Amino acid sequence: MSKIKTAFFCSNCGYESPKWSGKCPSCGNWNTFIEEVIHKDVSQKEKQWKNDDEKNGTAKTIALNEIKSNAQERIITGDAELNRVLGGGIVPGSLVLVAGEPGIGKSTLFLQIALQMKNITTLYISGEESDQQIKLRADRLKIQNDSFYLLTETLTQTIFQEIKKLKPDLVIVDSIQTIQSPYIDSSPGSVSQIRETTAEFQRFAKDTHIPVFLIGHITKDGSIAGPKILEHMVDTVLQFEGDRHYAYRILRTLKNRFGSTAELGIYEMGADGMRGVNNPSDILLSQKEEQLSGIAIAATIEGMRPLLVEVQALVTQSVYGTPQRTVSGFDLRRLQLLLAVLEKRGGFHFGVKDVFLNIAGGLKVEDPSIDLAVLSALLSSYEDIPLPYDICFAGEVGLSGEIRAVNRIEQRIAEAEKLGFEKIIVSKYTQKAISQQSFNIEVIQMARVEELYRYLFG
C-alpha cells in the first residue's frame, strides 16, 4: 500500500507546507495552518471532459502576431443588472465567482437568471439542495424553461461525465464549497478541495469555452471563504450584498478581467424572486409629508450610475461619560473626521453629543462626495432645523474645512434635476466649468463649510 501523504495548508491564503508552522510565511497570519490528506492522480485528471482526439493534442509555443483575434460575442442574459456588472454580458469560457452571506438570495438570483435564458442550454449543479427543493423554488419564480437541466451531485468526476453527455452552453455550480474532487482525500470545503475543484472547473472552462458560475460562501468577517488564491484563479469576482432586513440587494464587481470593476447592479427581493431596479434613486428617497431635521440628500456615483441617497443624522446630548458614535452604511472614521472639522472650524461642541448616522435603504456608500450631505445632516440635527426638501449636496470636505470638487459632477446634477430637485450645492473648485444654461436646476457653488452653514441656517 502506498503511504498516505499529508500536507499543511494556510486557511487564509492557501500556502502549502510539508510541516506545521505557527506563522504563515506567505500572508503572515498566525495559527492558520491545518493538516489535510492529499492524493493526486494526474494521469486521469485531464481526461474527464476531453474527447479522444483532444487528449492527444499537445501545447506548443506560438508567436503573438500569429494569433488571430476573434471578437467573441457575449451571451446576453435576460437580466440587465447582471449584464451591466459583467461588462456587457457573459464572456464564453469565463469563470465567475459569486459570493455573499447566507440567505441573501444568491441561489434564487442565479436560478432565476438560468430559467430566463431560454435560448441556451443551462446546467444547474447543486451540492446543497435536493431536486425537490430547487423545483419548489422554481415554481415560486413562475418561469418555465425546457432547456434548463438540474444535477444534484458533489463529485467532480460524475459532474464532468454528465456535462460531456449534455454539452450545455452555461454551467452554474451551487456551491463550490460542497464540490469534492476524487484526487484529493480531504473533506469538501477544505482549502485543498476548494483549490483543486476550482482548478478543474477553470481548465474545463478554458478548454471548452463554456462559461462557469461558481457560487461561494463568505466567512464571518465578510471575506470570501477559502484561500485567497481562489479569487486569483477566476476571471470575475462578484459580491452579492445587502441587509436581509431590507428588500434591496447589491451585486458588486470586485474583479473583472473583461470589463470595469466600478459597476454594480441593484435588485429588489420580492415574493416571486429578484427584480432589477431601473431607477434606484427614486426608491431610496423616503416620501415625507412633513420636513424633519437631520435629513439631507446626497448625489453619489456608484460605478457608472448616479444615485441620490438619503442621509439621516441624529445628534443628542450625551448621558454617558464617553459620547457614542454609531454609523450604518458609512465609515466611522470618516464621521469622526467630519465631526473634528465641525468642532475646529465651526466651533460646534460635538464632543459632548451622541451622534448616530444612517444611510437609508441599507446601502453602504464609499463615495467621498457624500461628505457634504453628512455634514449638512449633522448641522440640521444639531440646530434642530429641517433642511429645504428641494436641495441636495455633492462635495468632499477637507481637513481645513474646504469643500473639495468631486468627479462627474454633471451626471450628478442631471440625476438631481430628473428627480425634481431645484437646488444642488457643489464645490466652487470644480475644474470643469458648469454651464448653468444646460440645467434647469440651480447650481450653488461654495468653497468653505462656514458658507454652507450661513446659507442653510444663517
CATH number of the domain to which 241 belongs: 3.40.50.300
102 known ligand binder: yes
3-state secondary structure of 189: coil
Decide if 47 is inside a domain.
no
Decide if 422 is inside a domain.
yes
Q: Is 186 exposed, middle or buried (0-12, 13-18, 19+ CB in 10 A)?
A: buried
Q: In this structure, are residues 117 and 77 in contact, taking their beta carbons and an 8 Å threshold?
A: yes
User: Over the stretch 136-145, which tens digit does the pLDDT of each residue have?
Assistant: 999 999 888 8
3-state secondary structure of 384: coil
Q: In this structure, are residues 173 and 179 in contact, taking their beta carbons and an 8 Å threshold?
A: yes
User: Over the stretch 98-121, which tens digit does the pLDDT of each residue have?
Assistant: 998 888 889 999 999 999 998 899
pLDDT given at position 372: 96
Specify the range with the lowest mean pLDDT, choosing from 216-225, 379-388, 420-429.
Answer: 216-225
Q: Are residues 129 and 23 in the same domain?
A: no
User: Over the stretch 208-249, which tens digit does the pLDDT of each residue have?
Assistant: 999 999 999 887 777 787 777 888 899 999 999 876 666 778
Q: Are residues 128 and 260 in the same domain?
A: yes
92 known ligand binder: no
CA 381 to centroid of chain Cα atoms: 32
Number of domains in the chain: 3
Statement: residue 353 has pLDDT above 60: yes
Residue that the C-alpha cell 500556502 belongs to: 15
β-pairing, 353-359 with 325-328?
parallel
Q: In this structure, are residues 280 and 377 in contact, taking their beta carbons and an 8 Å threshold?
A: no
105 known ligand binder: yes
- Which pTM value belongs to this model? 0.75
Cell of 447: 468653497
Cell of 5: 501523504
Q: Are residues 239 and 201 in the same domain?
A: yes
* Domain extent for 333: 283-457
293 known ligand binder: no
Q: Are residues 443 and 314 in the same domain?
A: yes
pLDDT given at position 1: 46
Q: Are residues 214 and 292 in the same domain?
A: no
Q: Are residues 4 and 110 in the same domain?
A: no
162 known ligand binder: no
Decide if 335 is inside a domain.
yes
Q: Are residues 2 and 135 in the same domain?
A: no
Domain stop point among 226, 241, 276: 276
103 known ligand binder: yes
Cell of 202: 477553470
Q: Are residues 288 and 145 in the same domain?
A: no
Q: Are residues 388 and 259 in the same domain?
A: no
Q: Are residues 114 and 85 in the same domain?
A: yes
Q: Where are the beta strands (DSSP E) in 373-441?
A: 391-393, 396-397, 403-404, 423-427
Q: Are residues 19 and 153 in the same domain?
A: no
318 known ligand binder: no
101 known ligand binder: yes
The predicted model gives 352-379 an average pLDDT of: 91
